[in-house]
Copies of this chain bind each other. A is one copy, B any other.
Amino acid sequence: MPIQSATAFAPATVGNVGIGFDILGHTFPAIGDRVRAIRTAHPGVRIREITGIAADLPVEAARNTAGKAVLSLVESQALPFGIELAIEKGIPLGSGLGGSAASAVAAVVAANELLNQPLTRLELLKHAIQGEAVASGSLHADNISPSLFGGLVLTVGIDNPRIKQIPVPSGIRCVLVHPQFYLSTREARAMLNRDLPLSDVVWQTANLAGFLAGCYTNDLDLIRGAFEDVLIEPQRAGLIPGFAEVKRSAMEEGALGCSISGAGPSVFAWALESQSQAICAAMVRAFVRQGLACDQWIAPIGQEGARVVERQ
């Protein structure tokens, strides 16, 4: 008897990781979204329900990131059955924690379980990217890839994406502070300058390359020296009240780097485990001085991506 329903969990993610705009991201496994895919007799894709901490989302499949991703998958397969989706949001909406990506990823991973011939993760990636585009208005994989594959993930290319999991030095923790206000990814993208100065681009590429070389060689000094986004962060910092102070607080407490998670407003820092509590507390205090309440988490950068948690 074929599987009637499957539920998948997909972790939150830190997109860009500061120096890798649109190409780099890492999992943040402390939170995530769950999607249950249910086989139905009627062809097509429908959203059955949306629950959890962010229920105010489109229920029309083509306008919902999870729905659109599974529509893309279904249209590539000519399935003899339909799929209904039950979405349970664990990631705050508009937080910069990859919530739309996690829903899209969890949805395709769950739906994939219903297929007679499951697709590869690389094929699922392409469908999930289509879903993510509904929310962000652009095709980019810096949240999708780490949520699907796990770890610190580089995506090269969109039409024919190549995925590389980058090693993270052991003992690193990610501190995440989410000031409780909504920031639209679409707007945070639209505000960006379309042209960038060559000199800043050279600086940023040096930082990106240094960061990656530091990760591959366990060189914390190089990671710290290179962990600075000079292209995007300065443009978006003004969207987050107190950002400069939050960042300064984190760096003064010993963070390896601190920047905006995805399009914000969440701010993340990489830290040694021993310093992560103090860094987190300092960041939260800086936000509170702005009158902003915060969610806060400290977690290792997990190596595990989306996974099926239930089959019936």
Q: Which residues of A contact B (CB under 8 A)?
A: 20-24, 154-157, 162, 164, 166, 192-198, 201-202, 204-210, 212-214, 216-217, 219, 221-222, 225-226, 231
Contacts and interface: CB of A to CB of B under 8 A. Distances in A.
A23 to B, nearest CB: 4
A206 B156 CA distance: 5
Nearest to A140: B202
A166 B213 contact: yes
Contact of A154 (B23, B162, B210, B225): B210
23 contacts: A20-B205, A20-B209, A21-B201, A21-B202, A22-B206, A23-B205, A23-B209, A154-B213, A156-B206, A156-B207, A157-B206, A162-B210, A162-B226, A164-B210, A164-B213, A164-B214, A164-B219, A195-B196, A196-B197, A196-B201, A201-B231, A212-B212, A212-B213
Chain copies in complex:
2
Contact of A193 (B198, B209, B217): B198
Nearest to A204: B205
Nearest to A214: B164
A208 B192 CA distance: 22
A198 B196 CA distance: 6
B21 A205 contact: yes
Contacts of A193: 198
B155 A206 contact: yes
A208 B208 contact: yes
Contacts of A201: 21, 196, 201, 204, 231
Nearest to A161: B206
B197 A194 contact: yes
B23 A222 contact: no
* Candidate in A166, A212, A221 with the most chain B CB atoms within 10 angstroms: A212
The 6 A-B residue pairs with the shortest CB-CB distance in the complex, in nearest-first order: A156-B210, A195-B195, A216-B216, A164-B213, A23-B206, A156-B206
Contacts of A226: 156, 162
Contacts of A217: 164
Nearest to A213: B164
A198 to B, nearest CB: 6
B210 A208 contact: no
A65 to B, nearest CB: 21
A225 B23 contact: no
* Candidate in A164, A197, A226 with the most chain B CB atoms within 10 angstroms: A164
A154 B21 CA distance: 20
A203 to B, nearest CB: 9
Contacts of A206: 22-23, 154-157
